[in-house]
Chains A and B, each alone.
Chain A
Amino acid sequence: ETGVTQTPRHLVMGMTNKKSLKCEQHLGHNAMYWYKQSAKKPLELMFVYSLEERVENNSVPSRFSPECPNSSHLFLHLHTLQPEDSALYLCASSQDEGTDTGELFFGEGSRLTVL
């Protein structure tokens, strides 16, 4: 139990569906992240929120839309995805001090399959 909870753990969707991934952290951290993990590739940073403000949007296609309603919750809204978007989506949180990124605590991930 890392203190970061992701739901759902598994999701299968068609290319025309709309779905959302949810992340909740119970650690009191001030930053939250979405990462994409594809097989045999390094984790790719997608979005970063610091104090509920989006501070990084790493050239992610608009079919992925993040939302951070408060410092404990993070969503990733999915719309008209492509089969190549199938991957493990990881949420993480950290307590950052200025420009120093604190230790990352990851959730268990949401395994997404796009048919």
Chain B
Amino acid sequence: KNQVEQSPQSLIILEGKNCTLQCNYTVSPFSNLRWYKQDTGRGPVSLTIMTFSENTKSNGRYTATLDADTKQSSLHITASQLSDSASYICVVDGFSGGYNKLIFGAGTRLAVHP
């Protein structure tokens, strides 16, 4: 069964600290892996999209890594800010399953405290 598991479920860090969010998936084969940020009460916004051949991709203070062999991805946030408080959703785009091929994780809820 195609699944995307994210850990931790929730995380609290102090402003200025770094953190890493994990995403493990069983989707195979896959086309790409996406990370989204969702502020409370808002829709998700794309942070990065990586194909299976890309190992790392950055978007400002956000850096995503991908290991297609172990089927793991991580999202690293550097020098966190209060505005980073949000849910971070990992999505794997598989080749099959029609439009159901986007498999969503349940998200990691990050709280950045001053």
Contacts and interface: CB of A to CB of B under 8 A. Distances in A.
Interface of A: 2, 4, 6, 31, 33, 40-43, 45, 48, 50, 55-56, 58, 90, 92, 99-101, 103-109, 111
Contacts of A58: 100
B19 interface: no
22 contacts: A2-B43, A4-B43, A33-B99, A40-B9, A40-B106, A42-B103, A42-B105, A43-B44, A45-B100, A45-B102, A56-B99, A56-B100, A99-B95, A101-B93, A103-B49, A104-B46, A106-B44, A108-B42, A108-B43, A109-B41, A109-B43, A111-B41
Nearest to A47: B99
What DSSP secondary structure best describes chain B's contact surface? mixed
B4 A42 contact: yes
Contacts of B44: 43, 90, 104, 106
A90 B43 contact: yes
A100 B31 CA distance: 8
B62 interface: no
B45 A43 contact: no
Interface residues of B, number: 24
Interface string B83-114: 00000010001010011111111110000000
A104 B14 CA distance: 31
Contacts of A40: 9, 106
Contacts of A31: 99
Given A42-B4, A43-B104, A107-B43, 15 more contacts: A2-B43, A2-B45, A41-B106, A45-B100, A45-B102, A56-B98, A101-B93, A101-B99, A103-B46, A103-B49, A104-B34, A104-B44, A106-B44, A109-B42, A109-B43
B102 A101 contact: yes
